[in-house]
Amino acid sequence: MSLRLFSVLIAGFISIQTASTQNVILGVLEENHGHYAGEPNYRSVRAVFEKKDGDWRPLRSDCRDRECLKTATSSYPREMIWTIAFDGKNVGQVTSRTPQDFMWYSSLGQQEIISSGPVPTIGSRSPEFGGYTDAVVYRPLIANSQQYFADPDRWKPSTTSHALTTALQQAFRSKFPKLCRLSGAEHNTLEPLPYRNEEVKIVKAYTSASGRIVARLHLEGVDCADVEAGFDIDDPWFVVDTKKSITYLDSGLWLVDAGDYDNDGRSELVFSINRDNEGGYEIYYDDFRKHSTFKFNYH
């Protein structure tokens, strides 16, 4: 082998190694309500997770004061070219840039879109995607720093059998054995809420090609331990594995999308956080054995 050919092969090997080990940054293309009354909605890409040392890790989102909002920008990539994905497909590309100051707690991670041309959009605007603000906006879409968007696990909306519905209702009761309801003339008193399993409803369910299922359950009720706030419990999610074992995931979420965002052959699931004064995203991976959370407050 000639020295020239050997050098070319080594250079190509190094190039492949560098590309394969480059960290993946995951973001979400969002539409948000204007911060002040009368301001129009705006589109941005919020950078949220980084795949590093084998795990998805949240970018900085723990700010509690203005100084943190100013300095947190240095923790984010300055400029990104994003592949926008939905339902296992590439739906476009945008370029965005991190501002000098995030200004608002709810703006953490948001990059200004600087590319020309139309911004990818799926469906119509809906308050379903507005989270805590109830803004009527387009659905969020996954943004990836790499061109990874396929969904090898093929997650699809589904229905649950009677037997599985019964098992999920029982899992709900095991997680929430005691619930309360608001009563009294001013609805400021909590009293026990006896409920039947059949009253727990399956709101959403998704099934993968391997047979795993995630399901969102709903029952009107209040956490008895939350006496002062008296907030309704947020719809909890449960995952059913291939052996039909059921595990609680979290509450106050809705599923944004599923895809193999790090090109490891398995799909990750990204959920949007929708809770009182809380927003952000959760990513579940490694067959639900691991998850990571990017979370912020609105005020």
Helices (H) and strands (E) in the chain, counts: 3, 19
Residue given tokens 């809770």 in the structure block: 275
Instruction: Flag whether pLDDT at 98 surpasses 60.
Output: yes
22 vs 152 pLDDT, higher one: 152
Instruction: Flag whether pLDDT at 2 surpasses 90.
Output: no
Instruction: Flag whether pLDDT at 262 surpasses 90.
Output: yes
CB 135 within 8 Å of CB 127: yes
And the tokens for 267?
């799909």
Chain segment 39-90, per-residue pLDDT in tens: 889 999 999 999 999 999 999 998 989 999 999 999 999 999 999 999 999 9
The alpha carbon of 255 is separated from its chain's Cα centroid by a whole number of angstroms, namely 7
User: Of the ranges 28-37, 121-130, 236-245, which one carries the lowest mean pLDDT score?
Assistant: 28-37
Name which of 109, 112, 116, 81 is nearest 95 in CA terms.
Answer: 81
Q: What is the percent of the chain with per-residue pLDDT over 90, rounded to a whole number?
A: 76
Average pLDDT (206-234) is: 83
Instruction: Flag whether pLDDT at 4 surpasses 80.
Output: no
Q: What is the mean pLDDT of the chain?
A: 90
pLDDT at 36: 83
Average pLDDT (253-275) is: 97
Give the model's confidence band at 295: pLDDT under 50 very low, under 70 low, under 90 confident, else very high.
Answer: very high
pLDDT at 21: 40
pLDDT at 231: 58
pLDDT at 12: 43
Q: Please, where are the H alpha helices in the chain?
A: 3-21, 66-71, 162-175
Spell 14-28 as b/e; 16+ CB within 10 A means b. eeeeeeeeeebbbbb
Average pLDDT (183-205) is: 87
| H helix or E strand, kind and range, residue 270 | strand 268-273
The CA distance from 25 to 109, in Å, is 12
pLDDT at 20: 37
Give the model's confidence band at 224: pLDDT under 50 very low, under 70 low, under 90 confident, else very high.
Answer: confident
Instruction: Flag whether pLDDT at 186 surpasses 80.
Output: no
And the tokens for 123?
């469906």
And the tokens for 74?
């240095």
The CA distance from 246 to 284, in Å, is 15
1 vs 205 pLDDT, higher one: 205
pLDDT at 299: 85
Chain segment 122-168, per-residue pLDDT in tens: 999 999 999 888 899 999 999 999 999 999 999 999 999 999 999 99
The CA distance from 237 to 254, in Å, is 9
298 vs 200 pLDDT, higher one: 200
User: Of the ranges 8-12, 50-54, 169-173, 214-218, which one carries the lowest mean pLDDT score?
Assistant: 8-12
Q: What is the percent of the chain with per-residue pLDDT over 70, rounded to a whole number?
A: 89
CB 275 within 8 Å of CB 127: no
pLDDT at 201: 97
The CA distance from 280 to 60, in Å, is 12
Instruction: Flag whether pLDDT at 102 surpasses 70.
Output: yes
CB 80 within 8 Å of CB 93: no
- Count of other CB atoms within 10 angstroms of residue 254: 18
